[in-house]
């Protein structure tokens, strides 16, 4: 079981990996994930939301940080007490906070669907995840949101006001939709 959280006191946020089934003796299994590219400064920022996906026969963790990088790493690297480095595969934009994310398959491809506080819903093609390195430099100065060139990035502009997002089944998402003041629980076809 993987646990991430945000404290009201310590900023440093460790991801915890707890073996399941639970045993009586759970050691401190904190994992520090550093992320970023050459020459960048990093810290143990809090993970806002995360999910796992199987790409290339490898179980991977996708974690979205409060300071906006979307980070990928292999789950096999997450051993108790380790400090591991993730790859920044996308930047989600200033002033934006990731809310929820889900992974799904459509037409034989793997996608990550992500709800954000101010950048709407993004769909990222993640088939090449295991063959993608960290983003090294911004594509251009005015690209507020970017993903690695190996990974497609698409704004789902028709999905507005999504307050929460989860997967219902292979073809549908369940969303909490803020429709002008009233909150609706809706199912939607995955884009």
Partner 1 sequence: MISEYSRIAARVLRAAAALAAGGALSFTRVDAAEAPAGGGRFNSTRQINGGPPVATERSIFWYEDSSPGNYRYRIEVTGLEPDVLTQARTGNWDTSRWQELFAVYTIEPGQPRSSDFSGRVAIVGSYRLNEDILVFTPQFPLQPGLSYVGVLRQPGPMGIDNRTMVTFTAPERPATPLARITNVFPSTDVLPENLLKFYVHFSAPMQSGDIYRHIHLLDQEGREIELPFLEIGEELWDPSMTRVTLLLDPGRIKRGVRPLEEVGSALHIGETHALVIDRDWTDANGRPLSDAFRKEFRVVEPDRTPPDPAAWTISAPQAGSRTPLSVGFDEPIDHALVQRMVRVTAPTGEPVSGSIMITREERQWTFLPDAAWRPGTYALVVETVIEDLAGNNVGKPFDVDIFENVQRTLTSESVTLPFEVR
Q: Smallest distance, Å, CB 96 to partner 1? A: 9
Using CB under 8 A as the binding rule, whether residue 178 contacts partner 1 is answered as no
**Helix (H), strand (E) at residue 100:** strand 98-106
Query: What are the structure tokens assigned to 140, written together?
Result: 């251009």
Rg of the Cα atoms in the chain: 17
Tell me the site size for partner 1, rule CB under 8 A.
35
Using CB under 8 A as the binding rule, whether residue 9 contacts partner 1 is answered as yes
Starting from the edge strand earliest in sequence, which strands make up the sheet with 109-116, in order? 98-106, 109-116, 121-125, 153-156
CA proximity to 50, closest of 17, 9, 10: 17
Which residue stretch of 31-39, 53-61, 120-128, 179-187 sits at the interface with partner 1 (rule: CB under 8 A)?
A: 31-39
Q: For partner 1, give the closer residue by CB, 8 or 170.
A: 8
Using CB under 8 A as the binding rule, whether residue 97 contacts partner 1 is answered as yes
Q: Rounded CA gap, 35 and 2, in Å? A: 18
Residue with tokens 């299994």: 29
What is the DSSP annotation of 131-143?
G-----S-SSTT-
Using CB under 8 A as the binding rule, whether residue 56 contacts partner 1 is answered as no
Q: Smallest distance, Å, CB 32 to partner 1? A: 7
Q: Smallest distance, Å, CB 26 to partner 1? A: 16
Residues contributing to the site for partner 1 (CB under 8 A): 6-12, 30, 32, 34, 36, 38-43, 45-46, 66-69, 81-83, 85, 91, 93-95, 97, 117, 138, 144
């Amino acid at each position: 079981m993987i646990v991430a959280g945000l404290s009201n006191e310590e900023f440093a946020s460790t991801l915890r990996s707890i073996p399941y089934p639970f045993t009586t003796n759970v050691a401190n299994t904190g994992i520090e994930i550093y992320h970023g590219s050459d020459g960048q400064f990093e810290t143990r920022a809090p993970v806002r939301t995360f999910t796992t996906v199987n790409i290339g026969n490898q179980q991977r963790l996708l974690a979205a940080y409060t300071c906006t990088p979307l980070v990928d790493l292999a789950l096999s690297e997450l051993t108790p007490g380790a400090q591991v480095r993730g790859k920044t595969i996308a930047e989600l934009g200033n002033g934006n906070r990731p809310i929820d994310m889900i992974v799904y398959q459509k037409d034989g491809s793997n996608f990550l669907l992500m709800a954000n506080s101010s950048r709407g819903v993004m769909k990222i093609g993640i088939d090449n995840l295991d063959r993608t390195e960290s983003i090294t430099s911004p594509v251009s100065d005015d690209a507020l949101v970017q993903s690695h060139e190996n990974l497609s990035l698409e704004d789902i502009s028709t999905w507005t006001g999504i307050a929460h997002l989860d997967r219902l089944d292979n073809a549908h998402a369940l969303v909490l939709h803020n429709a002008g003041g009233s909150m609706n629980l809706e199912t939607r076809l995955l884009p």
